[in-house]
Structure 1
């Protein structure tokens, strides 16, 4: 980065256990064993108050994780390709993923990642503990978000959503893409038990986080904890679109 060109400042906001806005210019690199020729930043983790871990991964030419990611009996993983072209595989299956491509691996299944192009590949990577349900078991699932049709969100024709994973009870989480046309917004300020980790794919907007309106834009990361107020307005000339995780399909535990 070199010497700063102005006074040090940041748009990032951290409220541990509640929410966080992390601007890309403030990210630092983390060394994660198993990842070779990669630049990685840990975005959210239990240290922030999240029950999951989100990463931003840049795989340089020849970058890979030959040792595998996840694979423990209680850990599920997910990768979404933001840019570039990668090979994503398990011990039994192999997938070629380009922009908007993704792969989910259930507990006990290792995910292997490799950049197969000369250019960098950028990945949004996730892991969390799976909550088992008697008689249910998730499976390896892969597709491309660009191949999935949007559906209207909550009866509003200027807001659209995609489900990236099956909605079966076998899965205890899902990933979605939510897109707001310019000037569109949520129908109300949400307050719910689910938590989210969201990466902004395009646009600009104002996001309500714990009843504080915060400006956000493409490249930002947002963590939203349980019961934190949340809602968005899209501003500008481009749709405000983000990919995000959500825990679902399980009862609250005592």
Structure 2
């Protein structure tokens, strides 16, 4: 089995001797929230969740995320929720980075571990519990589902990264690859969550500029990202938001692999109002 790493925030607080300077930046084109920002004092608590706290990385906001919200959820042993989602239009993607979770869905319990992915369609009833002995940490991506006449709602997915072969990008000799949890040809889904992997020295060799909005969480390694007009160094645990059409490129200098969890909105017409 291939060795994989999934960074999870440790929480805590920096010492009083730390400098105030850092690389956190908020612009109208992109945002960088470095892992050092994810301390105890910026966590949130949510209704109907017990023994759980959240780092809210993105939410719909003027000049910020338009299509999704993204949380890092930390669930202590015995914690969880029997009413996790308050919005009937919200669909859910979950990716586990630490510990184990039990998700109840349609009469069946699915056990998730680091590297597990779950998609839960809008309007579905589900539960989440940490029945293990260790803290469990997962990413929770929420999006308002966009109905399309003549298309059924997408079904739930429960899977693991090990079950998906990374697809190499053309003409890269496998040095830039994408692990897809959702079939990109399935029009029922209006969002994708993938893992992008760069081997040391690999690059995105042009300034990508496209309509898809991104949430990007670094799972492993480090790289230099070009965001709009700036070069930004990122490492495991850092989060980036990229607005639609924000120019972007990447150089993964090593020494190890650079991997990130990527959200994007897909498969729908551009809204005209």
The residue number in structure 1 matching 2:150 is: 135
1:152-171 residue pairs with structure 2 within 5 A? 152-157=168-173, 158-167=175-184, 168-171=186-189
Q: Secondary structure at the match of 2:82?
A: strand
CA distance in 1, matches of 2:197, 2:204: 10
- Which residue, 212, 229, 232 being the options, matches 2:247? 229
The residue number in structure 1 matching 2:31 is: 20
1:1-254 residue pairs with structure 2 within 5 A? 1=13, 3-16=15-28, 18-27=29-38, 28-47=42-61, 49-50=64-65, 51-69=67-85, 72=88, 74-136=89-151, 137-157=153-173, 158-167=175-184, 168-254=186-272
CA distance in 2, matches of 1:134, 1:179: 35
- Provide Cα deviations, 1:184-225, integer angstroms capped at 9, x if missing partner: 011311000100111111011001111211000001111111
Task: Give the superposition deviation at 1:154.
Answer: 3.0
Instruction: Point out where structure 1 has 5 or more consecutive residues left out of the alignment.
Output: none
Aligned pairs, number: 252
CA distance in 2, matches of 1:173, 1:21: 22
Q: Secondary structure at the match of 1:187?
A: strand
Q: Secondary structure at the match of 1:25?
A: helix
* TM-score of the pair, normalised by structure 1: 0.94
Task: Give the superposition deviation at 1:91.
Answer: 3.9
CA distance in 2, matches of 1:13, 1:93: 43
Instruction: Point out where structure 2 has 5 or more consecutive residues left out of the alignment.
Output: 1-12
CA distance in 2, matches of 1:251, 1:43: 26
